[in-house]
Structure 1
Amino acid sequence: MRTIWIGLVVLLCASCASSSLKERLDSSLLQYDEVGAAVMPEAIATVQSPFFTHDFKRPTFPERIDSLAPGEDVIQAGIDRLASAGGGTLVLTKGDYLSGRIELKSHINLYFEDGAVITFKSEIEDFLPVVYTRNEGIELYSLGACIYANDAVNIAITGKGKLIGPGEGSIRERTMTHDVIENIVSSDTPIGDRIYDGKTAEFIFPPAMIAPINCKQVFIEGLTLERSAFWNVVPTFCEDVIIRGVQVYSKGIPRGDGIDIESSKNVLVEYCSLYTGDDCIAIKAGRGYDGLRAARPSENIVVRYCLAGEGHGGITLGSETAGMIKNLYVHDCAFDGTDVGIRFKTRRPRGGGGQHIVFENIRMNIGKSALRWDMLGSSTHVGAQASRDFAVEVNALTPKFSDVTIDNILIESTRDCIQVEGIPESRLENVTISNLHATGKRYLAIKDAKDFLIKDSEIYCDDCVIDSVNVTGLVQQNVNIITQ
């Protein structure tokens, strides 16, 4: 159904419209060069979240300091020596290091001098034996990560160095790409039997760049990451995590996500600059029945002062959300050139969703969709369930998003300002968008939603008609819609 909603909506022509809202937003929101790694301060400012309080602070380590000279496979031995002495800081001096997988231990700060570069090896055997990890929301035993930690406390990776992921070799040649992971790894198989070492199957699941799992007090700061084989920074089942001043360059790399928060609690991401082959920052919480079994949400998260320079999504929630996303606060960020700005992703066979989510003070220049709810997915990944006409009864894997607030948003350019695809049996609920100034080709397409409020906003659009299907409670208050 194509509808123009009137009442409290004012339809104007471009020549007679004022734009005081745009001027206010443009002067108050941070510019693209005022966020990201280049402007990171030394101090960590107090977090102001509407959902939780937590004292995020810089960690301390034993005063013991060791240093390494450049070489091949020297880093793990240095970490092990320092860990056996009770911890401290391991300094990588300037130069080139070649390494297989590195496992960080408790109370260790792996510090990079400016000019220290680790290039990771490219063969499967350089990442054996397999370790417990989570790949795209499924727990299993595989190659883990280039820098890995399990059940560690008080760990850090800091400095001005660079990590370069595996190049051409068996890791990239044998990465699983032929199907979605839930069709490969059965949720009925015990986790200890899910072994992918290059021998049990023809394929492997590739290593992320930095992926601590089951860790507490994780601090990552100042690094540059390039040429990842998979996701870049991925804290999983972790608590008390700070990621700041990280730069990720993975353009052209499929699944080259920048930062993925996986089922972790009390997380701060700030002043990061991301140029990626997939989502810049993603919040995830497990996939399908495996995620329901783990039942670990991603919760109490703040993302602030980050720059998404290139990628599929600036901030993406999902698509693996079985454990739920809760208490997420994103503010004072800028997206300059991503396909989508803010994206909510679920899939019928994957479960979960999210609630208590706030975005505010965001500037964006977007290629496709600025505000996007994508809850059905594509038939490539979920088959017939990607169609809203495919009848599905509510079940344990039915996802849901609700209680979302989006405020003070300047969309400088986009194709679709607001695009909503909910699920017929689980409609998107209780969304409020306010103080939005958007310039785009199309204003609003919305399916399967209820209680969706847009207020105190200005929309400049070529096509200002609203497409709506199965929507109740769509309200616009003091919205100026300006035909360009």
Structure 2
Amino acid sequence: MTSNGKLLSKEKLKYRILFFMLFICLLSSSAMLLKAQEKTIPSINTVGSKAMPSCITPYEKNPFNMPQLYYPVFPENSVNIRDKGAMENKPITVLVNQLISVISKKGGGKLIIPKGKWVSGRIVLKSNVNLYLEAGSEIEFSDNPTDYLPSVFTTHEGIEIMGAGAFIYACGENNIAITGKGHIYGPAMDTPMRKISNSVALIENRFPKKIGERIFDGMEGRHFFAPKVISPINCNNVLIEGITIERCLFWNINPTYCENVIIRGVTVNSKGIPSGDGIDITCCKNVLVEYCTMNCGDDCYALKGGRNGDGMRVGRPTENVIIRHCLAMDGHGGITTGSETAGGIRNVYSNGCMFDGTQIGIRFKTRRPRSGVTEKLYYENFKMTNVRDAFTWDLLGSKQFMGELADRLPLRPITELTPEVKDIHIKDFVIESAKRLIMANGIPELPFNHVVIESGTINTKELIPVMNDFINFTMRNLSIKTDHNVINIIDGQNLLLDNIGFIIPKNKLYINVQGEKVKNIKVRNIQPDIEIKVKKDNNM
């Protein structure tokens, strides 16, 4: 008896030790997993221009094939504009453009804008030239339309025109750069140029004209469209690094029809400026945007593919774009696709970004006549704080700009101008504070399709007030704390809520559905065991 009792005690002790060791291993594994998750979710100290490392880290985990981008290389030939007679507070336009041409013709090099306050009209970059802005240098650009003559080939909101171009412009060049720690300023905030309309409607009624006749230079009674800040067009191997931009007139950085573009460590401050987009990538291929800080009057980071019929004619998509370790602060959208989508937008990968105070975190935009396919979009390892809406699908627009096309019904015929949005993957994220989790208005004749949102922690006041016209929408492996417990759906098909932990009022979830096309609304593996009510009302 005693012997058996000792044996039993030893066996118990053995199993208890094994159990304890297993428990410790599980705790250790859980801690390691939490630490790994903490490493992937960014903080304010790991994103933006202040966090930029000295070199580009290779990207290996992007979900599509894209060649590694490298810095353009320039000859060891440096020219300082002060040494060539430039004087502060006097226009340097002619001298700078002459020096750029000379350096380019001699094989390339660096043109240095030294510390000081400089004023200029349009600067035109040429192949193999690095325009280097020293720390302490400030260039203020002119508000006189004549300083942007002659008109140059450019685009305005996705439509090709002849116009001012940009403060710093290039067309058809290779191996160009704008680098340094200097500042670029637009004209004073009270300049009359800021009161001139930049409405794209002024172009859209001129499509029958040849591009060379679409002139918007402000001369002889013609309209003037404000220049962007930096806009290379049809260029290859472009680097923009380290600079700060303030007081833009229109979009800040807008590479168009370019290939192999690197934008890193750039700071943009355009808060309160209408159409003050930060970085707008238009119809470009192979683009890396990293460690930038945007505080903008419109979208912070945007992907665009040309507008309406003109964009279809050009037929150039934006494809292969990586946006990583970037900070979006004030702005309409943190990362936005569209609304110009005619040539298509595909293969976009965002990793390690932070949205702090942005109106909308991740924003999908198009309109009924914008055409094109927006697809294969991936967003990982991000954090949102104090955003109004975490995710929006704004595919119809407002009646103010779109008229009756903004009305959901009646259904319109599907044509070549009908845009399509599909194949969106969102995972591994934290939403610390949002007013609304999702606001989605799709196009009823061609619903947006195949969205997966997974592996995230969410704190939101409202859940999903509007979710219209979609097919195949999955939300899984989420932790959601919300003050409201309602999801409103119109003509949604194949919605799956799977393995979601809710902290929700009264432990009740209400899903209100309407529309003849509604089907397959599934909820499973919800924790805790909350009450779920699905109400169908075609008269809502």
TM-score, with length taken from structure 1: 0.92
Whether contact under 8 Å (1:47, 1:56) holds in the other structure is no
Which runs of structure 2 are paired with 1:164-179 in the superposition (5 Å)? 164-167=185-188, 168-177=190-199
Task: Identify, as 1 or 2, the structure richer in helix.
Answer: 2
What is the DSSP-based 3-state SS (H/G/I as helix, E as strand, rest coil) of the residue aligned with 1:467? Answer: strand
- Alignment of 1:426 onto 2:438: no
After superposition, what is the alpha-carbon deviation per residue over 1:60-107, rounded to whole angstroms, capped at 9, x for unaligned?
112211111243223222212212322111111111110000000000
- 1:258–1:80 CA distance, 2 compared to 1 (3 A): same
What is the DSSP-based 3-state SS (H/G/I as helix, E as strand, rest coil) of the residue aligned with 1:261? Answer: strand
Whether contact under 8 Å (1:372, 1:418) holds in the other structure is yes
Which runs of structure 2 are paired with 1:143-158 in the superposition (5 Å)? 143-158=164-179
What is the DSSP-based 3-state SS (H/G/I as helix, E as strand, rest coil) of the residue aligned with 1:392? Answer: coil
After superposition, what is the alpha-carbon deviation per residue over 1:227-279, rounded to whole angstroms, capped at 9, x for unaligned?
00000010000000000000000011000000000000000000000100000
After superposition, what is the alpha-carbon deviation per residue over 1:34-62, rounded to whole angstroms, capped at 9, x for unaligned?
10000100110112311113121111112
Whether contact under 8 Å (2:336, 2:362) holds in the other structure is yes
Which runs of structure 2 are paired with 1:256-275 in the superposition (5 Å)? 256-275=276-295
Match of 2:227 in 1: 207
When structure 1 is superposed on structure 2, of 296-305 and 347-356 the one drifting more is 347-356
> For the residues of structure 2 that align with 1:201 and 1:288, how far apart are their CA atoms?
27
Question: Deviation at 1:33?
Answer: 2.2
After superposition, what is the alpha-carbon deviation per residue over 1:306-353, rounded to whole angstroms, capped at 9, x for unaligned?
000111111010100111101000010000000000000010021124
Whether contact under 8 Å (1:132, 1:139) holds in the other structure is yes
Match of 2:460 in 1: 440
- Alignment of 1:42 onto 2:75: no
The amino acid of 1:174's aligned partner reads I
Match of 1:68 in 2: 81
> For the residues of structure 1 that align with 2:195 and 2:117, how far apart are their CA atoms?
25
- 1:351–1:91 CA distance, 2 compared to 1 (3 A): same
What is the DSSP-based 3-state SS (H/G/I as helix, E as strand, rest coil) of the residue aligned with 1:34? Answer: coil
What is the DSSP-based 3-state SS (H/G/I as helix, E as strand, rest coil) of the residue aligned with 1:60? Answer: coil
When structure 1 is superposed on structure 2, of 218-227 and 388-397 the one drifting more is 388-397
> For the residues of structure 1 that align with 2:259 and 2:278, how far apart are their CA atoms?
19
- Alignment of 1:55 onto 2:75: no
Whether contact under 8 Å (1:341, 1:366) holds in the other structure is no
Match of 2:102 in 1: 81
The amino acid of 1:383's aligned partner reads G
> For the residues of structure 2 that align with 1:30 and 1:46, how far apart are their CA atoms?
18
> For the residues of structure 2 that align with 1:139 and 1:151, how far apart are their CA atoms?
15
What is the DSSP-based 3-state SS (H/G/I as helix, E as strand, rest coil) of the residue aligned with 2:261? Answer: strand
Question: Deviation at 1:390?
Answer: 3.5
What is the DSSP-based 3-state SS (H/G/I as helix, E as strand, rest coil) of the residue aligned with 2:384? Answer: strand
> For the residues of structure 2 that align with 1:176 and 1:244, how far apart are their CA atoms?
28
Whether contact under 8 Å (1:120, 1:165) holds in the other structure is yes
> For the residues of structure 2 that align with 1:175 and 1:123, how far apart are their CA atoms?
16
What is the DSSP-based 3-state SS (H/G/I as helix, E as strand, rest coil) of the residue aligned with 1:32? Answer: coil
Question: Deviation at 1:406?
Answer: 0.3
Whether contact under 8 Å (2:356, 2:387) holds in the other structure is no
When structure 1 is superposed on structure 2, of 348-357 and 131-140 the one drifting more is 348-357
Whether contact under 8 Å (1:21, 1:435) holds in the other structure is no
- 1:245–1:95 CA distance, 2 compared to 1 (3 A): same
Which runs of structure 2 are paired with 1:362-377 in the superposition (5 Å)? 362-377=382-397
- Alignment of 1:198 onto 2:218: yes
What is the DSSP-based 3-state SS (H/G/I as helix, E as strand, rest coil) of the residue aligned with 2:58? Answer: coil
What is the DSSP-based 3-state SS (H/G/I as helix, E as strand, rest coil) of the residue aligned with 2:342? Answer: strand
What is the DSSP-based 3-state SS (H/G/I as helix, E as strand, rest coil) of the residue aligned with 1:234? Answer: coil
Which runs of structure 2 are paired with 1:274-353 in the superposition (5 Å)? 274-353=294-373
What is the DSSP-based 3-state SS (H/G/I as helix, E as strand, rest coil) of the residue aligned with 1:457? Answer: strand
Which runs of structure 2 are paired with 1:87-166 in the superposition (5 Å)? 87-166=108-187
Question: Deviation at 1:172?
Answer: 2.4
- Alignment of 1:381 onto 2:394: no
Match of 2:263 in 1: 243
Question: Deviation at 1:407?
Answer: 0.4
> For the residues of structure 2 that align with 1:458 and 1:85, how far apart are their CA atoms?
61
Choose between structure 1 and 2 for higher RCO, CA contacts under 8 A separated by at least 6 residues. 1
The amino acid of 2:54's aligned partner reads E
The amino acid of 2:72's aligned partner reads P
- Alignment of 1:221 onto 2:221: no
- 1:282–1:21 CA distance, 2 compared to 1 (3 A): farther
Whether contact under 8 Å (2:172, 2:235) holds in the other structure is yes
The amino acid of 1:91's aligned partner reads I
Whether contact under 8 Å (2:99, 2:111) holds in the other structure is yes
The amino acid of 2:482's aligned partner reads C
Question: Deviation at 1:201?
Answer: 4.5
Question: Deviation at 1:24?
Answer: 7.6
What is the DSSP-based 3-state SS (H/G/I as helix, E as strand, rest coil) of the residue aligned with 2:468? Answer: strand
- 1:213–1:28 CA distance, 2 compared to 1 (3 A): closer
Whether contact under 8 Å (1:464, 1:481) holds in the other structure is no
How many residue pairs get aligned? The number is 463
> For the residues of structure 1 that align with 2:437 and 2:135, how far apart are their CA atoms?
42
- Alignment of 1:406 onto 2:426: yes
> For the residues of structure 2 that align with 1:47 and 1:268, how far apart are their CA atoms?
10
Question: Deviation at 1:200?
Answer: 5.3
> For the residues of structure 2 that align with 1:90 and 1:223, how far apart are their CA atoms?
15
When structure 1 is superposed on structure 2, of 436-445 and 410-419 the one drifting more is 436-445
What is the DSSP-based 3-state SS (H/G/I as helix, E as strand, rest coil) of the residue aligned with 1:454? Answer: strand
Q: 1:188 aligns with which of 205, 208, 222?
A: 208
- Alignment of 1:452 onto 2:464: no
After superposition, what is the alpha-carbon deviation per residue over 1:121-151, rounded to whole angstroms, capped at 9, x for unaligned?
1111111110000110000001000000000
- 1:472–1:354 CA distance, 2 compared to 1 (3 A): same
Whether contact under 8 Å (2:40, 2:352) holds in the other structure is no
Whether contact under 8 Å (2:355, 2:387) holds in the other structure is no
